[in-house]
């Protein structure tokens, strides 16, 4: 065996960490899946920060479907999916999301959001509202205080890595046990 479980874990952590500094890193965009009433809901969001100990930060609008899904789920459960095409590396994580709206965490992040990006969170109508045409979106200057801006803090409890290689595919599951990640190899 050419790679150990801790090395495989570190390989994924290194790529996720690299995405913090590189806006074009493929892990910068992540698919987050939530539990809607009868069907899973998935969408791409930007990963704002990865921390090996803390988890993943993302931003959204608290009027969005994903927020409603998370808020109405008893464990605020979500899954994340990352895919690195050049390294043929897939990372799947399962965990819980803490929602921060109009609190100190949301306010601190809102200050760092560039003005052009703030517009995404100042629409008068809620995201997903039916409109006549794309120009019909109205922005409300009163919302520039970040009323609807939300920080999603995803804390994983398990993560599955899959790397497709020409010679030997690698697949492993890791669970967070007593604050350390314990892994097992799996049949790919």
Ligand X SMILES: Cc1cc2nc3c(=O)[nH]c(=O)nc-3n(C[C@H](O)[C@H](O)[C@H](O)COP(=O)(O)O)c2cc1C
Q: How far is the CB of 14 from ligand X (least distance, A)?
A: 23
**Residues in a beta bridge with 172:** 161, 185
Closest approach of Cβ 9 to ligand X, in Å?
26
Whether residue 30 contacts residue 20, with contact meaning beta carbons closer than 8 Å, is answered with: no
Interface with ligand X includes 137 (CB under 6 A)? Answer: no
Sequence-distant (6+) residues with CB within 8 A of 95 are 55, 77, 78, 79, 80, 154, 155, 156, 157, 158
> Which of 125, 127, 153, 155 forms a contact with ligand X (CB under 6 A)?
127
CA angle centred on 61, ends 42 and 53, rounded to 5° = 70
64 forms part of the interface with ligand X (CB under 6 A): yes
Among 23, 24, 37, 44, binds ligand X (CB under 6 A): 44
Examine residue 109 and tell whether it contacts ligand X (CB under 6 A): no
In 3-state terms, what secondary structure has residue 22?
coil
Complex with ligand X: residue 64 or 122, whichever CB lies closer: 64
Q: Whole-number minimum distance, CB 30 to ligand X, in Å?
A: 9
- Smallest distance from ligand X to CB 2, Å: 35
Provide the CA 43 distance to its chain's centre, in angstroms. Answer: 10
In 85-179, DSSP assigns E strands to: 89-101, 149-163, 170-177
Examine residue 66 and tell whether it contacts ligand X (CB under 6 A).
yes
Residues within the interface to ligand X (CB under 6 A): 29, 41, 43-46, 58-60, 64-66, 127-128
């Amino acid at each position: 065996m050419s790679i150990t479980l801790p090395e495989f874990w570190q390989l994924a952590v290194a790529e996720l960490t690299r995405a913090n500094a590189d806006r074009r890193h493929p892990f910068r965009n992540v698919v987050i899946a939530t539990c809607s009433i009868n069907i899973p809901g998935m969408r791409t969001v930007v990963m704002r920060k990865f921390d090996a100990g803390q988890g993943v930060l993302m931003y959204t609008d608290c009027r969005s479907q994903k927020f409603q899904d998370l808020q109405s789920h008893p464990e605020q459960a979500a899954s994340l999916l990352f895919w690195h095409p050049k390294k043929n590396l897939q990372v799947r994580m399962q965990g819980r999301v803490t929602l921060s709206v109009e609190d100190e965490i949301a306010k601190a992040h809102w200050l760092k959001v560039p003005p052009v990006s703030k517009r995404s969170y100042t629409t008068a109508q809620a995201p997903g509202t039916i409109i006549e045409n794309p120009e019909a979106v109205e922005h409300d200057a009163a919302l520039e205080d970040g009323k609807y801006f939300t920080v999603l803090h995803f804390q994983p409890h398990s993560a599955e890595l899959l790397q497709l290689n020409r010679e030997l595919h690698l697949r492993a599951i890791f669970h967070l046990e007593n604050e350390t990640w314990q892994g097992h190899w799996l049949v790919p």
